[in-house]
Amino acid sequence: MKIVFLENTARDIQWFRYYYTSVFPEGSERARAQLKAIQLTLAANPYAGHPSDARRDIRELSVPRTPFTLIYRVTPTQIEILRLWDTRQGVDY
């Protein structure tokens, strides 16, 4: 299934890139690989993530070995990524 990052994820992606280039460059290569791998998993298994506690139509899937989680919803035609959430920030989506 097609994965689409919605506009409001732009800030999250910028933070992910900044974090792994400036704050923790040693983990950059692994984090990018983990994000790519979890997208492949999600495309093949749209319901791989667990339902959000906040909203039942939203799902969450952790990016392994990172503090980031994909917040997404499944539509009939695509998987919409709502946030690439840094879980150290608390819940606000």
Helices (H) and strands (E) in the chain, counts: 2, 5
* Structure token digits, residue 89: 């920030």
For 24-55, what is each residue's pLDDT tens digit?
A: 999 999 999 999 999 999 999 999 999 998 88
Look at residue 56 in the predicted model and tell me its pLDDT.
Answer: 86
Look at residue 91 in the predicted model and tell me its pLDDT.
Answer: 61
What is the 8-class DSSP label of residue 57?
A: T
Does pLDDT of 57 surpass 70?
A: yes
Q: Is the pTM of this model over 0.95?
A: no
